[in-house]
């Protein structure tokens, strides 16, 4: 008989997570909630428990095995050659209800190639591995305490119509599952989406929580311009670049998303919802670019995670960004192709805004050429 513990009734949920880790370390199989559905997991470094998980999963038709990790950074340890698109999608989707299938190249030695044979047989068969970073606190808590990954089954079970409740195969385990963490109905009540990534192409293999349209949006090339208040320089850069890019692609500004591009701006010290400078609006109007709908937004960790390229107006802006997010260094650049600062026109006469806009456009044309070449 499995031990079933309701984590919402626990005085300290961390005690329940610790118990689950102990059961896994002893070779047990544990049922845990995710944000999508309940899954049964084994310690990926314990070949005996993984073999039992595989046998149990085959009898219950629990579907494809998933290797669960904490984050996109941890995924790189197992599959170092994720590629630009793979890295982008993981950065934008995780933790969350999307699993990704990657090829494990025999020429690139990541941790996936040195997992126990039983684990490789289950999660890396035929050179393919499915990775996921669940957003549920229970799974994340367990992963932080384990030295290796979890192997999960049940996400893609043949019978997955439980609406996020504990599935029928849990009471049918007859002692083969040693511990069950119960947390009511899972948030989404359906499986995570499964996306295959090959180079710069992706394919939705299983339509789950996240739709194909959303994946397409998440796969877009995201360009972010950053200044101080997001009322002058960065919105002007955004507006000009959107127009230049649309002209190059032969589409309207508002159709850039359909062509795989997202262009935005933010400010390091911006107040949410501030209107653009009247002079900035006037200057761009003369270029047939409408800034009247712009509202400022502060630069956030989430925006930095989303962006493929971040263009800062000054060296000070770039240094401030990297101080908060050093892992983004390869994606944060100065907008000036000469390595100089773009001066702030705030509070100046309209002629200074004209000069700033012309300087921005000069550098943005070079950036556009670099972008479309790469």
Residue 357 has pLDDT above 90, yes or no: yes
Residue 127: per-residue pLDDT:
85
Q: Range with the lowest mean pLDDT among 38-47, 141-150, 157-166, 327-336?
A: 157-166
Residue 1: per-residue pLDDT:
55
Residue 173: per-residue pLDDT:
67
Domain 3-210 has CATH 3.90.870.10: yes
Q: Are 128 and 67 in contact (CB under 8 A)?
A: no
In this structure, the dihedral spanned by the alpha carbons of residues 72, 77, 80 and 86, taken in order and rounded to 10 degrees, is -10
pLDDT digits (tens, 9 = 90+) for 260-270: 999 999 999 99
Which residues are the active-site residues? 227, 233, 344
pLDDT digits (tens, 9 = 90+) for 200-209: 999 999 999 9
Residue 373: per-residue pLDDT:
62
Residue 374 has pLDDT above 60, yes or no: no
Q: What percent of the chain has pLDDT over 70?
A: 98
Greatest alpha-carbon span in the chain: 79
Question: 119 vs 175, which has greater pLDDT?
Answer: 119
pTM: 0.84
DSSP state of 218: H
Report which listed range, 72-86, 106-120, 314-328, is most confident.
314-328
Contacts of 138 (CB under 8 A, 6+ apart): 7, 13, 16, 17, 20, 32, 33, 181, 183
Residue 113: per-residue pLDDT:
82
For residue 150, what are its two tokens?
A: 């979890």
Residue 162: per-residue pLDDT:
73
Residue 175: per-residue pLDDT:
77
Q: Range with the lowest mean pLDDT among 47-56, 72-81, 141-150, 236-245?
A: 72-81
Q: Could you give the strand order of the β-sheet that contains 3-6, starting from the edge strand earlier in sequence? A: 3-6, 179-182, 30-33, 38-43, 150-153, 66-68, 128-132, 98-103, 193-198, 201-206
Residue 44 has pLDDT above 80, yes or no: yes
pLDDT digits (tens, 9 = 90+) for 113-146: 889 999 999 998 788 999 999 999 999 999 999 9
The H or E element containing residue 278 is helix 278-285
Name the average pLDDT for the chain: 93
pLDDT digits (tens, 9 = 90+) for 186-196: 999 999 999 99
Residue 62 has pLDDT above 70, yes or no: yes
Residues 150, 243: Cα–Cα separation, whole Å:
47
Residues 344, 233: Cα–Cα separation, whole Å:
7
Q: Would you say the C-alpha torsion 75, 90, 159, 174 has a positive or negative sign? A: positive
Residue 101: per-residue pLDDT:
96
CATH fourth-level superfamily of 220-373: Response regulator (3.40.50.2300)
Domain boundaries, the chain: 3-210, 220-373
The H or E element containing residue 151 is strand 150-153
Residue 107 has pLDDT above 80, yes or no: no
When computed from its CA atoms, the radius of gyration of the chain, rounded to whole angstroms, is 24
Q: Are 240 and 361 in contact (CB under 8 A)?
A: yes
Residue 161: per-residue pLDDT:
66
> 67-95: string of b/e by CB count within 10 Å (b at 16+)?
bbbbebebbbebbeebbebbbbbbbbbbb
């Amino acid at each position: 008989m499995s031990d079933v513990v309701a984590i919402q009734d626990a005085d300290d949920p961390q005690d329940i997570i610790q118990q689950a880790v102990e059961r896994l370390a002893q070779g047990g199989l544990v049922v845990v909630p995710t944000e999508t559905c309940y899954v049964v997991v084994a310690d990926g470094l314990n070949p005996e428990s993984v073999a039992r998980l595989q046998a149990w999963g085959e009898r219950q038709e629990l579907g494809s095995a998933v290797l669960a990790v904490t984050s996109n950074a941890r995924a790189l340890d197992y599959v170092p050659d994720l590629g630009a698109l793979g890295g982008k999608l993981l950065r934008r989707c995780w933790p969350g209800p999307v699993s990704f299938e990657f090829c494990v190249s025999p020429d690139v030695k990541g941790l996936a190639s040195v997992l126990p044979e039983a684990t490789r047989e289950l999660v890396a068969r035929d050179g393919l591995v499915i990775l996921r970073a669940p957003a549920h606190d229970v799974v994340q808590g367990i992963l932080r305490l384990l030295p290796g990954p979890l192997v999960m089954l049940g996400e893609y079970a043949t019978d997955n119509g439980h609406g996020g409740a504990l599935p029928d195969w849990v009471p049918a385990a007859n002692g083969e599952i040693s511990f069950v963490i119960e947390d009511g109905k899972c948030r989404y009540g359906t499986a995570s989406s499964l996306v295959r990534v090959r180079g710069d192409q992706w394919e939705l293999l299983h339509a789950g929580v996240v739709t194909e349209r959303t994946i397409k949006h998440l796969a877009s090339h995201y360009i972010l311009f950053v200044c101080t208040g997001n009322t002058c320089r960065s919105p002007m850069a955004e507006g000009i670049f959107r127009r230049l890019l649309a002209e190059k692609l032969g589409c309207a500004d508002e159709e850039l998303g359909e062509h795989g591009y997202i262009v935005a701006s933010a400010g390091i010290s911006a107040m949410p919802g501030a209107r653009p400078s009247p002079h900035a609006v006037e200057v761009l109007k003369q270029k047939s670019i409408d800034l009247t709908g712009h509202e400022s937004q502060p630069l956030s960790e989430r925006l930095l995670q989303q962006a493929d390229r971040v263009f800062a107006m000054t060296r000070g802006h770039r240094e401030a960004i990297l101080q908060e997010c050093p892992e983004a260094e390869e994606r944060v650049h100065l907008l000036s192709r000469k390595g100089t600062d773009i001066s702030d026109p705030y509070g100046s006469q309209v002629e200074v805004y004209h000069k700033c806009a012309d300087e921005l456009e000069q550098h943005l044309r070079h950036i556009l050429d670099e972008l479309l070449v790469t």
